[in-house]
Structure 1
Amino acid sequence: MSSDDAWIGDAQPYLAARRHGEKDAWSSEAAARGRKGSQKLLAVEEVEGPSAVRDFLQTPPGELIVVRRRLIMLDGSPIELADSYYPSAVARGTALAAKGKIRGGAITLLASLGFTPEDEPLEDVAPAIATPAQCEALQLQPGTPVLVLTRFTRSTASEPMEVSVMTMTRHLQYRQRKEAS
């Protein structure tokens, strides 16, 4: 996707459990724009995780966290790397920790386990220069700038349930909602 493509971001579809037979949020979002969204699972592993992820998930150093690494594509071209981290106590023994696609997606599975995401997760967006591995996966030239969006999601019971780190090549626009006072 070129940097001048307008794409209004809305996290809400990514925080809602999918109904049986419903496409994943990314495929649905791309299709609504007449495009084809897909993703490829790159790895599922247990890692110590970055410090910000450990801190949010309240995981002490040395304790492992489950991460699902995906390559997100638009019309067959890579546009994003997405790493989603889950507390091992939640993920172990579930499809979150297994290699393979999760029917209905991770949020649907988490909801079935009693972890319904809050309505307004914290999202942090920062610029970065793509690493050599990111350049290879995203087919970028060395030194290419990327956006890194990190979404910290708690359950409606205030339990930390997921941290997603998305390294993307596309331009984002956000709409803010004003709450009544």
Structure 2
Amino acid sequence: MTVPITHTDSPDRRSLHERIAADLRDDIMSGDLAPGTSLPSTTRLKERFDASNATIQKALHILKDEQLVVGRAGSAVTVREHRQRTMRPAAYMAPATPGEPYRWLTEATQHGARAHSTLLDVAETRPPADVASSLGLGDTETAVLRHQILTIDGEPAELVKSYYPLAVARDTAIMAKRKIKGGTPALLTQLGFPPLLSVDRVSARIPTQEQYQALNLPSDLPVLRTLRVVYTDADRPVEATVMVKAGHLYELQYEFTPG
């Protein structure tokens, strides 16, 4: 049930159909409207939101464009199966065992999905300022960029840009434009830089033009941007990765122990 919130000094300036879509989106993402279940009828939605039939249909159209629901006008609209996926970063930080695929692919396929990674580019470049700072690079220093896109069931899931200091990447498979068997955690371990600590900084941002197109986003809904810095012995940073995914389709699960 929607509880009206009134702030006379900061009204919601969105159109009514956008506000309705936002409330229904929250119901879907919180699980109140579970995958495979039908949304309330148009009549009930009209009563709930005090809106016209046309306004309700415009709201549902937004959710269909976002791939959260399916259905046609005049028929039941249902929440799509497996729309919001929970990713557990800790599950794919350890190096893959010999012969096994990169752990992100294994984690993504746990529920029967098809996961794939496509390497888009490998280049020596100057990283963004926050990445350069995380790697301890000087004002003119460059790093090796490995740029890839990860897909689930043929749909773009995550845009990934990983940066490595030249002292780590030089004359290694990191600089080659081909996939690294088992992923970079396994390779870094082989090179003598075992990943011992990862630090994530997660923020919600409006997508850039590149992210909007690469992830095939339906609107300017926020994306989740994770800057992950991987450290080896002596707290030395050996990898900094920027990962971007659609905020309305994915959530991150972190687990902690007391102390």
The CA distance in 2 between the partners of 1:135 and 1:6, in whole Å, is 18
2:204–2:223 Cα contact (<8 Å) kept: yes
Aligned to 1:175: 254
* Pairing 1:143–2:220 present: yes
Give the superposition deviation at 1:10: 2.4
* Pairing 1:78–2:139 present: no
- Greater displacement, 136-145 / 123-132: 136-145
The CA distance in 2 between the partners of 1:173 and 1:104, in whole Å, is 22
* Pairing 1:99–2:177 present: yes
Residue segments in structure 1 that go unaligned for 5+ positions in a row: none
Residue segments in structure 2 that go unaligned for 5+ positions in a row: 1-65, 69-81
Q: Could you tell me which amino acid in structure 1 is paired with residue 244 of structure 2?
A: T
SS of 2:109's partner is helix
Q: Could you tell me which amino acid in structure 2 is paired with residue 151 of structure 1?
A: R
> What percentage of aligned pairs have identical amino acids?
34
Note the alpha carbon deviations across 1:50-69, whole angstroms, 9 max, x for none.
11111111110111101101
Aligned to 2:193: 115
Between structure 1 and structure 2, the one with the greater Rg is 2
The CA distance in 2 between the partners of 1:66 and 1:173, in whole Å, is 27
Higher RCO, Cα 8 Å, sep 6+: 1
The CA distance in 2 between the partners of 1:65 and 1:145, in whole Å, is 28
Tell me which of 86, 110, 125 is aligned to 1:47.
125
Give the superposition deviation at 1:142: 4.8
The CA distance in 2 between the partners of 1:61 and 1:167, in whole Å, is 25
User: Hey, which bits of structure 1, 4+ residues long, moved more than 4 A?
Assistant: 1-4
SS of 2:235's partner is coil
* Pairing 1:162–2:242 present: no
SS of 1:96's partner is helix
Q: Which has the higher strand share?
A: 1
Q: Which has the higher helix share?
A: 2
The CA distance in 1 between the partners of 2:97 and 2:85, in whole Å, is 25
The CA distance in 1 between the partners of 2:90 and 2:174, in whole Å, is 21
1:130–1:142 Cα contact (<8 Å) kept: no
Structure-1-length-normalised TM-score: 0.90
